[in-house]
Amino acid sequence: MRLYLITTQVVYAVSTAVWAFVWMMSFMMFDQGIQFLNTLFFLGVSIYPIVVVLSIILSWKLRKRRLRLAIVLNLIPMIWIVPFVILMTT
pLDDT in tens, 33-51: 899 999 999 999 999 999 9
Task: Output the CA torsion sign for 11, 12, 13, 18.
Answer: positive
Q: Looking at the predicted structure, is the pLDDT value of residue 90 above 90?
A: no
d(CA 73, CA 44): 18
Q: So what's the pLDDT on residue 49?
A: 95
pTM, two decimals, is 0.84
d(CA 20, CA 26): 10
